Structure 1
Amino acid sequence: METFSFKLDGPIFSKGVPIHVAIKAWENFQSIIDKSYLVATQTHRIGKKERERFFLQATSFEHSSFLTNTEIILSGVQLALPLVTVFGPQNLWEYTLESFNFLKLICSHKEDPQGVKIDVKDNTQTNVHIGDIVYNFNGPVFPIAEKALPKYQDLAHMLDEGKVEEISAGKKDNPEMTLTLDDKKLFELPTKVEDDPIELKCEIFTFNKFNNVGKLRITDGQTIPSGDYNFSIYGNQDNVNYIYSMLKPLVSVKCLLEIAISPLGVELIHHLHITGIVS
């Protein structure tokens, strides 16, 4: 595969490259391409051995913006996709681009999801019907887009007028993947807060007493999938109980779910609003 570029552009880079900005952008970009790899190999996570076989490698850097010439390293990988006999870095990049274009199209119509029809055909082709127009995408774009959406949200949120004003990847002079200031909120999803609270057992492992927000971990076998979730205190509660709760391995809480309405036709848990600690 030929080297492609990954570029951050904006006034913040006029005197140099803020390392924390570059690292955050690179982590999000690597994670986006990781999703294509996970779907292509039908694996659930990239461990140490997987990372030795597949990673991004920057071969050179250029100044005045943060631009890296990059290549995908892929070796000794077993593929699980049907109808694919030869697969290499170029295919992985093409899947990423197709999924980006698919997701950008879908999210640009998120305010009218009823007007969008997605027809997935055996992970080899996806057709999107918007009115009388049909858009065709090749490869397993739907599962890749579903996995990569949160990372596109994180990458787009890095766009900020006067700082980072454009993020692009692909051909140096004509990048196929571009996000500008107009795309900052493109991947944000409308949300709704459910009316009925639910009770959950969790571990509160981060809490900011000034903003009354934190993160908690849900264990298996409960109403919502296990994993880490952002939460905030609902209403005017004393936050002392939340501070002490971090000393306990598990606490029971009641909360309202804030659900994000994905244009991909699935509902995602966006946030937890805790109405109180039960025990």
Structure 2
Amino acid sequence: MNAIEVNHLTKKYGNKTAVDDISFNVKKGEVFGLLGPNGAGKTTTLRMITTLLKITSGSVKIFGHDSVKEGRLSRSMFGLTGQYASIDEDISARENLMIFSRLNELSRASSKQRTQELLTKFSLVNSADKPLKDFSGGMRRRLDLAVSLIDRPALIFLDEPTTGLDPRTRTQMWDTIRKLVAQGSTVLLTTQYLDEADQLADRIAVIDHGKLVKIGTPEELKKQIGGTKLNFTINDNSKINTAIKLVKDQLGESISVTGQQLSATLHNIDQLAPLLVALQKVKIAISNLTVQEPSLDDVFMNLTVGKN
């Protein structure tokens, strides 16, 4: 059984289609990322999956349970941390966790125990009784995540969990998410940060203009957009045309030229050594040689930019 099954999910507002016939599954125990630019439909998709937004057409199943027909049961199986904190700013972290624990129908004793566990887990013990106005952005996000984990859900939804956080706090949040998965949780996260998706996600769905344009592991997506990038500088300006012809003959690819710098694509890393030998034979000296594997930045640009 999959943790989530999304089939032909669509959301329309009048004549505008915000999410257009999206289908995907999320396996138990994986981190699944929804990646896309602002306004792509990530949060709308997440809100439909979590029953916060009415589905126009299509269906969602949470651990095999239909989110519309069995809404209460499916909602009991997941925790949600949105872009904006759901915590009460006028009370302390401890009081927030106690209140939400009681709302989750824990006894007073169990609520106290669970609150202390979560304060410890998210490194909030020393600030547990301080006003939230003294909390940093990272502390607020950790508390918000702690609230969503009170009843130990097997599935956790994170909507842009590190937006607005500094690099150190983002890294701390990544470590927290990894620990949750290591303990058996399934995570679906939306993000516009390419490095975040690359660091955390086992599989990624790229969404643009409400459509699912590609899905796969980070490695699969990188391979699909092309080979390894090769860049180097021709030391002797008079030999640039000769070098361009030689590179085209060797690689069979068009190349990019900026001043004395040449850029080309290697479909196989084994193409590099023969090319360097060929350049040496005709006494073309080069410098600043770099070989770069495709990144998620390349995937993102390739799949979303210029597709309007």
More relative contact order, 1 or 2 (CA 8 Å, 6+ apart): 2
Structure that is richer in helix per residue: 2
TM-score by length of 2: 0.25
Higher Rg: 2
Which has the larger share of strand?
Answer: 1
Q: Give the TM-score taking structure 1 as reference length.
A: 0.27
